[in-house]
Amino acid sequence: MTFDKRKIDELAAANQQWEQQTLKKTLDRMPERQSEFITQSSVPIKRLYTPLDVQDQDYKDDLGFPGEYPYTRGVHATGHRGKLWTMRMFAGFGTAEETNARYKYLLEQGNMGLSVAFDLATLMGYDTDAPEALGEFGKCGVAISSLKDMEILMDGIPLGEVSTSMTINSPAPIIWAFYIAAAEKQGVPMAKLQGTLQNDILKEFIAQKEFIFPPEPSMRLVTDTIEFGTQHMPLWNTISISGYHIREAGSTAVQELAFTLADGLEYVRWGLERGLDIDEFAPRLSFFFNVHNDFFEEIAKLRAARRIWAREMRETFGAKNPRSWLMRFHTQTAGVSLTAQQPEINLVRVAIQALAAVMGGAQSLHTNSMDEALALPSEHAVTLAMRTQQIIAEETGVVNTIDPLGGSYFVEALTNQTEAAVYDYFRQIDELGGVIPAIKNGFFQQEISDASYRHQLEVDRNERFVVGVNKYVSEETPSIPILQMDPQGYDKQVARLKKLRLERDNLKVEETLNALRAACMGQENTMPYLIEAAKAYATLGEITDVMRETFGVYQEPAFV
Q: How far is CA 358 from CA 125, 255, 259, 302, in A?
A: 35, 21, 23, 10
Residue 219 pLDDT > 80: yes
Task: Tell me the pLDDT tens digit for each residue of 59-103.
Answer: 999 999 999 999 999 999 999 999 999 999 889 999 999 999 999
Distance CA 291, CA 334 (A): 6
Cα dihedral angle (554, 428, 254, 362), rounded to 10 degrees? Answer: -70
Distance CA 544, CA 218 (A): 12
Q: Are 513 and 376 in contact (CB under 8 A)?
A: no
Q: pLDDT for 516-557, tens place per residue? A: 999 999 999 999 999 999 999 999 999 999 999 999 999 998
Helix axis angle, 253-273 to 443-460, nearest 10° = 160
pTM of the shown model: 0.95
* E strand segments, 477-558: none
Q: How far apart are the first and last CA of the chain?
A: 46
Strands of 164-167's sheet, edge to edge?
A: 90-91, 114-117, 164-167, 195-197, 236-237
Q: pLDDT tens for residues 384-441? A: 999 999 999 999 999 999 999 999 999 999 999 999 999 999 999 999 999 999 999 9
Cα separation, 37 vs 244, whole angstroms = 25
**What torsion do the CA atoms of 398, 402, 407, 408 make, to the nearest 10 degrees?**
20
Evaluate whether 289 touches 329 at the Cβ level (below 8 Å).
yes
Q: How far is CA 424 from CA 259, 316, 417, in A?
A: 11, 16, 11
Q: Do 191 and 533 touch, CB atoms closer than 8 A?
A: no
Chain centroid, CA 197 distance in Å: 11
How many residues can be counted in the chain?
A: 560
3-state secondary structure 157-208: CCCCCCCEEEECCCCHHHHHHHHHHHHHHCCCCHHHCCEEECCCHHHHHHHH
Residue 110 three-state SS: coil
Round to whole Å and give the CA distance between 316 and 428. Answer: 17
CB 217 within 8 A of CB 189: no
302 with 357: CB under 8 angstroms?
Answer: yes
Instruction: Select from 36, 38, 35 the least CA-distant residue to 451.
Output: 38
286-304 per-position pLDDT tens digit: 999 999 999 999 999 999 9
pLDDT surpasses 80 at 509:
yes
The rounded distance, in Å, linking the Cα atoms of 116 and 32 is 47
Q: Which residues contact 234 (CB under 8 A, 6 or more apart)?
A: 191, 284
- Burial grade of 287 (CB within 10 A; 0-12, 13-18, 19 or more): buried
What is the CATH class of 64-460? alpha beta
Residue 256: burial class (beta carbons within 10 Å; 0-12, 13-18, 19+): buried
Q: Under DSSP, is residue 142 helix (H, G, I), strand (E, B) or coil?
A: strand
| Mean pLDDT for all residues in the chain | 95
Question: Phi/psi of residue 387, each to 5°?
Answer: -65, -30
| Amino acid occupying residue 194 | Q
Closest CA relative to residue 352, chosen from 434, 296, 404, 407: 296
What are the sequence ranges of the domains in the chain? 5-54, 64-460
Q: What is the pLDDT of residues 338-389, one digit of tens each?
A: 999 999 999 999 999 999 999 999 999 999 999 999 988 999 999 999 999 9
Alpha-carbon distance 196 to 165, whole Å? 5
DSSP 356: H
Question: pLDDT band at residue 478, thresholds of 50, 70 and 90?
Answer: confident
Q: How confident is the model at residue 1 (pLDDT cuts 50, 70, 90)?
A: low
Q: What is the mean pLDDT of residues 467-476?
A: 92
Percent of the chain with pLDDT over 90: 93
What pLDDT, in 10s, does the model give residues 118-163? Answer: 999 999 999 999 999 999 999 999 999 999 999 999 999 999 999 9
The residue-averaged pLDDT of 463-490 equals: 89
Residue 560 has pLDDT above 70, yes or no: no
Give, for 148, the enclosing helix (H) or strand (E): helix 147-153
Dihedral over Cα of 460, 462, 463, 467: its sign: positive
Name the burial class of residue 82, with classes exposed (0-12), middle (13-18) and buried (19+) by CB atoms within 10 angstroms of its CB: exposed
CB of 212 closer than 8 Å to CB of 259: no
